[in-house]
Amino acid sequence: MNLKIEEYASLKTMNTMGLESVARYFGRVESLAALQEALVFAKERHLPVIPLGEGSNVVLGESLDALVLLIRLKGREIQESHNGSVLLKVGAGEHWHSLVCWSLEQKFYGLENLALIPGCVGAAPVQNIGAYGVEIKDRFVSLEAVDRQTGESTTLSAEECAFGYRDSVFKNGLMDRVIITSVTLRLSTTLMPELDYGALKEKAEGFAGEGERPTGMDICRAVCAIRREKLPDPQVIGNAGSFFKNPVVSEEHKVALKDKFSDIPAYKVSEGWKLAAGWLIEHCGFKGCLKKDGAGVYDKQALVLVNHGNACGKDVLLLAEEIRVAVKERFSVTLEIEPRIY
């Protein structure tokens, strides 16, 4: 056996919200063979399979009648390096921020704006993670995944992944059908800084020093500093990062909102106008709120729901629904929850 199976395992320390959750079966996957064994185990028992990386984008129920797999497939392999670019294959269980820092140490550029995003590499394409003007799809080449039913490996291109705003085929047509085992990215050996987002340019120049151009590491440090100012550390306050997607509305809807709320932030995107979900939530009075069960909204960023210690998944979702109803009533905007709910 390449896999050890535990029964009735607590997942409280395996999700960044710190929600108490018990898995009927649990296993740690460190090889392709172990993953394939796990899928056979689950199939024989007619169990759903729940893969976890860092547990940073999930809301777990109190009891999961499933096989929960902690994906720890490691490895960083330079597959190709020429003409100023590098093809880098990374195991799905590698820690994302550690990969960003390592790539910069190797003088491979392109991930610096995505620093400090919590989670593992395998989760990045599912969410099409993005920050400060960059998304993983901008660096993505392909990925390898295992079919949950057959155990066979397959390779998917960027086109096949159907990336969108915090979206991909893994949230749609391939949802719960495959488990990602590795991701291949194309990075550059020349820094081409993306500094158009808000205060990032000023912050990065501050790290670089007077008269100096920011290095990739300066940009990474600037991104980390900005994120730490806005987002709570899961080691201190349980959270899953941004809990809602920033909604996109039509031109007509944006104009109507601007007539009523002149200071509402709105940014032009290809699909229409993107609104700041955190602003909507804050202006419904939820910023800093705390429920008796421990669920609450972070006092520095209303987009982040938090667990002050005793909340369960149901408590968090009840608060999320209260927020969604209030935003819908006041702004006629429907907020979409970003984390996966189990």
pLDDT score at 308: 92
217-246 pLDDT per residue, tens: 999 999 999 999 888 999 899 999 899 999
CA 169/CA 164 separation, integer angstroms: 9
pLDDT per position as a tens digit, 100-113: 999 999 999 999 99
Q: Among this protein's residues, is 202 annotated catalytic?
A: no
Q: Is 63 a catalytic residue?
A: no
Residue pLDDT, tens place only, 182-224: 999 999 999 999 998 778 999 999 999 888 999 999 999 999 9
pLDDT digits (tens, 9 = 90+) for 114-147: 999 999 999 999 999 999 989 999 999 999 999 9
d(CA 57, CA 27): 19
Are 88 and 79 in contact by the 8 Å Cβ rule? The answer is yes
- CA dist list (Å): 314 to 13, 125, 311, 317, 328: 18, 27, 8, 5, 21
Confidence band for 1, pLDDT divided at 50, 70 and 90: low
Q: Determine whether 338 is an active site residue.
A: yes
Q: How confident is the model at residue 309 (pLDDT cuts 50, 70, 90)?
A: confident
- How many residues appear in the chain? 342
Residue 299, strand partner residues: none
Is pLDDT at 60 greater than 70 in this prediction? Answer: yes
Q: What 3 state SS string does the chain have?
A: CCCCEEEEEECHHHCCCCCCCEEEEEEEECCHHHHHHHHHHHHHCCCCEEEECCCCCEECCCEEEEEEEEECCCCEEEEEEECCEEEEEEECCCEHHHHHHHHHHCCCECCHHHCCCCCECCHHHHHCCEECCEEHHHCEEEEEEEECCCCCEEEEEHHHHCCECCECHHHCCCCCCEEEEEEEEEEECCCCCCCCCCCHHHHHHHHHCCCCCCCHHHHHHHHHHHHHHHCCCCCCCEEEEECECCCEECHHHHHHHHHHCCCCCEEEECCEEEECHHHHHHCCCCCCCECCCCEEECCCCCCEEEECCCCCHHHHHHHHHHHHHHHHHHHCCCCCECCEEC
Give me the pLDDT at residue 102, please: 98
Q: Quick check: 291 pLDDT over 70?
A: yes
- What tokens appear for 47 in the block? 């169990």
Parallel, antiparallel or unpaired: strands 63-71 and 22-29: parallel
Question: Rounded to whole angstroms, how far apart are CA atoms 220 and 222?
Answer: 5
| 270 has a pLDDT exceeding 90 | no
Q: Which two tokens stand for residue 187?
A: 């990075």
Q: What is the pLDDT of residue 80?
A: 87
Mean pLDDT of 54-62: 95
Q: For residue 328, which phi and psi values (nearest 5 degrees)?
A: -65, -45
Round to whole Å and give the CA distance between 57 and 305.
Answer: 12
Q: How many CB atoms lie within 10 A of CB 75?
A: 13
Question: Tokens representing 248?
Answer: 């996109």
Q: How large a percentage of the chain has pLDDT more than 70?
A: 100
**pLDDT class for 324, splitting at 50, 70, 90?**
very high
What rounded mean pLDDT belongs to the chain?
A: 95
Q: Specify which of 224-233, 262-271, 298-307 reaches the highest per-range mean pLDDT.
A: 298-307
Q: Looking at residue 282, what is its pLDDT?
A: 97
Residue 275 has pLDDT above 80, yes or no: yes
pTM value is 0.90
CB–CB of 151/138 below 8 Å?
no
Residue 18, both tokens: 């710190």
Q: Over the stretch 66-84, which tens digit does the pLDDT of each residue have?
A: 999 999 999 999 998 888 9
Crossing angle for the helix pair 200-208 and 216-230, to the nearest 10 degrees = 130
Q: Spell out the domains of the chain, with CATH numbers in brackets.
A: 5-71 (3.30.43.10), 76-230 (3.30.465.10), 238-341 (3.90.78.10)
What's the mean pLDDT in 21-27? 97
Contact 264, 238 (CB under 8 A): no
Active-site residue among 148, 166, 221, 324? 166
Select which of 30, 194, 322, 338 is catalytic. 338
Whether 47 shows a pLDDT value over 90: the answer reads: yes
Output the CA angle 75-81-82, nearest 5 degrees.
170
